[in-house]
Amino acid sequence: MTNEKTLNKDELKNFTGSEHWYRINKTILCTDGAKYVAETGGAYWLLGEIALSQAFEKKVAAEEFQVWVLKVNPDQSATLKCEDGNGHIVFSKKIPWTDFPLPEITLWYSNNVIYLPSEH
Domains of the chain: residue spans and CATH: 22-115 (3.10.450)
Please determine, for residue 7, whether its predicted confidence score (pLDDT) is greater than 80. yes
Q: What is the mean pLDDT of residues 21-29?
A: 97
User: How much of the chain, in percent, has pLDDT values that exceed 70?
Assistant: 96
Residue 1 pLDDT level (bands cut at 50, 70, 90): very low
Residue pLDDT, tens place only, 32-51: 999 999 999 999 999 999 99
List, edge to edge, every strand of the sheet that includes 29-31: 21-23, 29-31, 113-115, 104-110, 65-72, 78-83, 89-95
| Higher-pLDDT residue of 1, 106 | 106
Is the pTM value of this prediction over 0.85?
yes
